[in-house]
Amino acid sequence: MWTAQRAQGGVMRVQLTAVGLVTVMAAGGLTACGSSSSGDTSGGGNRTLTLGTTTVVSQWDPYQNDWGPFLQPQQAAYDSLVHRNPDGSFAPGLATKWRYADPSTFDMTIRHGVTFSDGTKLDAAAVKANLDHGTSVQGPRTDEIAAISKVTVTAPDQVRIKLSRPDPSLPLVFSAVLGQMASPKALKDPALLKKKPVGAGPYTLDTAATTPGDKYTFVKNPKYWDAKSVKFDKLVFPIIQDSTASLNALRSGQIDGAIGTLDDVPAAKAAGLAVSSSLSYFTALNINDRSGRQVKALGDVRVRRALNYAVDREALQATAGEGQPTTQIFPPGQPGYVKALDKAYPYSPAKAKKLLAQAGYPNGIDLTVTNTAVLFFDRYGQALAQQLKKSGIRIKIHNVSLPQYQAMRLSDKNPLYAWFYNWIGTPIDANRLLRKNGQYNPYRVDNPKLDKLIDKAAAETGARQRATYEEISKEVVDQALFVVTNIGKTYYFYNPKKVKEMNYVPLESLPFVRGLEPAS
């Protein structure tokens, strides 16, 4: 039986997972960020919060961006249809109510009295314009709204969404980047959105104090519908080169918060910084070409299973940080996770060699793995290569710049790469990773069995749905579609004298900026 989901002024618990985002931590440079940049947060003065960010924002169209490293600047500029609380529950945002009228129909009531930063009114027509735009472009996450077949304005504040197939994840989707509403006028002007965001968020971009590629400065939006929740007058996001530069900037007071690494946790705590963490991603050797179109060996399930037996997940955990070894794409506590599957491929070079010989490779195989030398990516890739060598799998690491890596990981010219995937939610992850047209299936490998199971799960609820997702997980592991090795944590360091708790929403890649408060 289908259970409609509603939100009417209160909160709604996330039932199928909290949202994360495919995150690749990027590199830039920390310059022109003087020691006074953090500003004064004492009694009523100009309250400025400076948070290091890792990625240059190339444009501000929400439908053309992945959230991950862009999360905090985008959340400053744009508000989303649905909000999510620190406990993972849903709450009204630009939409005050929502419900599934049936498995293929989703209705929303849009908040009154909201305007975008260019003065354009937010109403049902504006939401339709955003969703129509999102379904017409190819962006990093637009596959999450691929089931939307038609958007209709049924009243000035009412939107009806028809789906080509049941999709229970829309509240989750609309609480992230694809729920961030941009001015319809700006959506018609791509050149404008390359320069600045035009949203209805808690802050607006101060272009005079912003240097694209170096630093982004936002000032409080006095017209924001929930202005009382905006506690800082200014948010500044300098781009930071690497984890060492980030930690040094935190120590010196140049910035108040930034993403950190496990290696730097002791030094951060010794410097008086607070540390938040989130179990938010899995590490893997991703087999893009699992049909064997470009690399014939990868199309043989025996070779893919050999790759899985050839990795020592316990040893690799040291490169992934705190967490646990795993073989599966769904995390503990979420639909689809099956504890017993984590023992499906115990480390066995002998078994790996036997499978390779059965597949016609008695002398082993040579493979090239794309990677990037940012943060712990390089360390993970080198550790993988050393382990695989013991099973006759000779790996050549092809390190590229982070922008190249981000493009290549979703290319049908990149058969194999080291991977860090931030979970979003079981229904979304299944679509993105496993469907023929999923974002993370660039070789368009077809598995009709998985498609049927994903569709079946989308039309179910409760225990039946969970059981179907477990069937999906078993099929993925049995066919060795990925070489998932570990679950890892993301770390965030911040100055507790400047800002109150900066905690993660479950499975997120960065703490939200919405709702942040000064420490004093």
- Dump pLDDT digits (tens) for 343-355: 999 999 999 999 9
pLDDT higher than 60, residue 1: no
Instruction: Cite the beta strand spans of 349-482 per DSSP E.
Output: 365-372, 393-400, 416-422
Which has the closest alpha carbon to 320: 273, 270, 370, 279? 279
In a domain, 288, yes or no: yes
Cβ(81)–Cβ(95) below 8 Å: yes
Residue holding tokens 């197939």? 165
pLDDT of residue 41: 41
Range of the domain at 139: 48-273
pLDDT higher than 60, residue 3: no
Pair (190, 291) in one structural domain = no
Residue holding tokens 């997940």? 313
**Amino acid at residue number 358:** Q
pLDDT higher than 90, residue 15: no
Distance CA 24, CA 216 (A): 20
DSSP character for 111? P
Looking at the structure of the chain, the number of domains it has is 2
Pair (265, 333) in one structural domain = no
In a domain, 129, yes or no: yes
Please write the tens of the pLDDT for every residue from 181-212.
Answer: 999 999 999 999 999 999 999 999 999 999 99
Q: Mean per-residue pLDDT for 130-144?
A: 92
Distance CA 241, CA 257 (A): 14
pLDDT of residue 163: 97
Distance CA 103, CA 119 (A): 36
- C-alpha gyration radius of the chain: 23
Q: Mean per-residue pLDDT for 162-168?
A: 93
Signed CA dihedral, 406, 409, 414, 420: sign only: positive
In a domain, 511, yes or no: no
Q: What is the mean pLDDT of the chain?
A: 88
In a domain, 337, yes or no: yes
Residues near 420 by beta carbon (within 8 Å), at least 6 away in sequence: 23, 24, 281, 282, 283, 284, 377, 488
Helix (H) / strand (E) containing 72: helix 71-77
Cβ(103)–Cβ(162) below 8 Å: no
pLDDT higher than 90, residue 32: no
Distance CA 341, CA 453 (A): 18
- Residue 320: pLDDT band (50, 70, 90) is low
For 7, the token pair is 């939100």
Please write the tens of the pLDDT for every residue from 268-285.
Answer: 999 999 999 988 889 999
Signed CA dihedral, 438, 440, 446, 449: sign only: negative
Least confident of 35-39, 97-101, 461-465, 477-481: 35-39
pLDDT higher than 60, residue 341: yes
pLDDT of residue 424: 75
Cβ(75)–Cβ(280) below 8 Å: no
In a domain, 505, yes or no: no
Residues near 338 by beta carbon (within 8 Å), at least 6 away in sequence: 328, 470, 473, 474
pLDDT of residue 279: 81
- Residue 377: pLDDT band (50, 70, 90) is confident
pLDDT higher than 50, residue 465: yes
- Residue 22: pLDDT band (50, 70, 90) is very low
Pair (267, 285) in one structural domain = no
Beta bridge partners of 395: 367
Distance CA 334, CA 354 (A): 34
Pair (364, 229) in one structural domain = no
Q: Mean per-residue pLDDT for 379-396?
A: 95
Question: What does each C-alpha distance from 147 to 129, 158, 169, 441, 472 come to in angstroms?
Answer: 17, 20, 10, 17, 20
In a domain, 305, yes or no: yes
Most confident of 66-80, 471-485, 492-506: 471-485
- Residue 287: pLDDT band (50, 70, 90) is very high
Among 273, 304, 335, the domain-final residue is 273
Strand 483-494 relative to strand 257-260, pairing: antiparallel
pLDDT of residue 45: 57
CATH number at residue 422: 3.10.105.10
pLDDT of residue 12: 35
pLDDT of residue 423: 81
Distance CA 101, CA 437 (A): 27
Pair (165, 296) in one structural domain = no
Residue 214 burial by Cβ neighbours in a 10 Å radius (0-12, 13-18, 19+): middle
CB atoms within 10 A of CB 205: 24
Residues near 468 by beta carbon (within 8 Å), at least 6 away in sequence: 453, 456, 457, 460
Question: What does each C-alpha distance from 315 to 190, 324, 353, 392 come to in angstroms?
Answer: 47, 11, 20, 18
In a domain, 310, yes or no: yes
For 95, the token pair is 């939409």
pLDDT higher than 60, residue 37: no
CATH number at residue 90: 3.40.190.10
Q: Which one has a higher pLDDT value, 424 or 377?
A: 377
Distance CA 431, CA 455 (A): 10
Q: Whole-angstrom distance between the N-terminal and C-terminal Cα of the chain?
A: 50
For 504, the token pair is 């993660």
In a domain, 175, yes or no: yes
Distance CA 356, CA 364 (A): 7
